[in-house]
């Protein structure tokens, strides 16, 4: 399949040369710092979210250029409903419009878009747009982009547990058969790879409930840059840091 090449970075920068086996297969990104970016400029928080759109799509192009196979972005958490009704409403409308607007360019570049998150409470119009994008891009193979909207790690684990408990109650599964491998099948996106690199912008050093199960052995990279100021160069830097890390998975030399 021939896909459209990613647009180069405005500076003409090319991705650093990293050996294929040192590249993370799955990068999880907490896109944080939009509100602070706007505040620094005396603007409304929502202006920061708007400015974050460009950052996201530059990062997506950089991910394609360097050869990532899977990227997950945290766009709205199960805890973000705690924000003001105005900000929640803005984020719902904004997410829907961004997906609609960017769907075709993602499709042309061979990106498979998947929605990861809870249906409950999420606006039906947002779900509809996400499902439309999933349908359109389902056969693409260049890279998978998991759009995590109304996502929470604990919610995902609890929902999986409930579905599994139901199967046990119905005697479809014996309690003894419950293993990590089986449990994973009940997660929102069973095909998702474990997270290799967990990246968060804005300087905060916490996971905020993102991909808890999948990030058990992720390498954490936190950078002191607000999300609207992030671009593919930031992603490449995080990948270079990752490539220098020694991963052990509990083993020893």
Residue numbers annotated as active site: 32, 80
Provide the H-helix boundaries in 150-246.
153-169, 180-184, 232-244
Q: How far apart are the first and last CA of the chain?
A: 42
Map the footprint of Mg ion across residues 29-48, applying CB under 5 A. Answer: 32
Q: Considering the complex, state which of residue 164 and residue 230 has its C-beta at the smaller distance from ligand IPE.
A: 230
**Residue in the structure block whose two tokens are 């083993």:** 251
Sheet strands (E) in the chain: 26-30, 70-77, 111-116, 143-151, 197-200, 219-222
Q: Which is nearer to Mg ion, 98 or 192 (CB)?
A: 98
Q: Which stretch binds ligand IPE (CB under 6 A): 70-78, 126-134, 187-195, 211-219?
A: 70-78
Q: Which is nearer to Mg ion, 140 or 202 (CB)?
A: 202
Report yes or no: 72 and 195 within 8 Å, Cβ to Cβ.
Answer: yes
Only segment of 60-68, 157-165, 201-209, 241-249 that touches ligand IPE (CB under 6 A): 201-209
Q: Please state, in angstroms and as integers, the Cα–Cα distance from residue 169 to each residue in 132, 159, 164, 175, 185, following that order.
A: 34, 15, 9, 9, 17
Q: How far apart are CA 75 and CA 117, in angstroms?
A: 10
**CB under 5 to 8 A by kind: which of ligand IPE, Mg ion, none does 74 bind?**
ligand IPE
Nearer to ligand IPE, 52 or 62 (CB): 52
Q: Is 229 in the site for ligand IPE (CB under 6 A)?
A: no
CA–CA separation, 148 and 129 (whole Å): 14
Q: In this complex, which beta carbon is closest to ligand IPE, that of residue 194 or of residue 204? A: 204
Cβ atoms of residues 153 and 213 within 8 Å:
yes
Q: At its nearest, how many Å lie between ligand IPE and the CB of residue 94?
A: 9
Q: Which of residues 16-45 bind ligand IPE (CB under 6 A)?
A: 30-36
Choose the stretch contacting ligand IPE; rule: CB under 6 A; options: 73-81, 117-125, 133-141, 173-181.
73-81
Query: Please, are residues 249 and 217 in contact by the beta-carbon 8 Å criterion?
Result: yes
Interface with ligand IPE by CB under 6 A: which range of 162-170, 178-186, 202-210, 234-242?
202-210
59 binds, among ligand IPE, Mg ion, none (CB under 5 to 8 A by kind): none
Q: How far is the CB of 33 from Mg ion (least distance, A)?
A: 6
Q: What is d(CA 46, CA 230) in angstroms, rounded to the nearest whole number?
A: 17
Q: Measured on CA atoms in the order 14, 19, 25, 26, is the torsion positive or negative?
A: negative
CB of 139 to Mg ion, least distance (A): 35
Look at the alpha carbons of 184, 190, 196, 197 in this order and tell me if their dihedral is positive or negative: negative
Q: List contacts with ligand IPE (CB under 6 A).
A: 30-36, 74-77, 80, 91, 202, 204, 206, 208, 227
List of residues contacting Mg ion (CB under 5 A)? 32
């Amino acid at each position: 399949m021939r896909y459209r090449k990613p647009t180069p970075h405005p500076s003409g920068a090319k991705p650093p040369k990293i050996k294929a086996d040192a590249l993370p297969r799955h990068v999880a990104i907490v896109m944080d710092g939009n509100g602070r970016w706007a505040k620094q400029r005396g603007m409304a928080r929502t202006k920061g979210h708007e400015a974050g759109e460009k950052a996201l799509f530059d990062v997506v192009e950089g991910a394609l250029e360097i050869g990532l196979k899977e990227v997950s972005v945290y766009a709205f958490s199960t805890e973000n409903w705690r924000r003001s009704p105005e900000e929640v409403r803005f984020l719902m409308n904004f997410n829907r419009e961004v997906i609609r607007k960017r769907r075709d360019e993602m499709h042309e570049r061979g990106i498979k878009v998947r929605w990861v998150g809870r249906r409950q409470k999420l606006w039906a119009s947002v779900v509809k747009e996400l499902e439309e994008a999933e349908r359109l891009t389902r056969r693409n193979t260049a890279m998978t982009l998991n759009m995590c909207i109304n996502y929470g790690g604990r919610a995902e684990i609890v929902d999986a547990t409930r579905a599994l408990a139901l199967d046990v109650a119905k005697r479809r599964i014996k309690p003894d058969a419950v293993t990590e491998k089986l449990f994973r099948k009940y997660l929102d996106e069973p095909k998702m790879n474990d997270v290799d690199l967990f990246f968060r912008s804005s300087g905060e050093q916490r996971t905020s409930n993102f991909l808890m199960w999948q990030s058990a052995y992720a390498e954490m990279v936190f950078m002191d840059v607000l999300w609207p100021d992030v671009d593919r160069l930031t992603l490449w830097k995080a990948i270079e840091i990752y490539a220098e890390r020694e991963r052990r998975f509990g083993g020893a030399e």
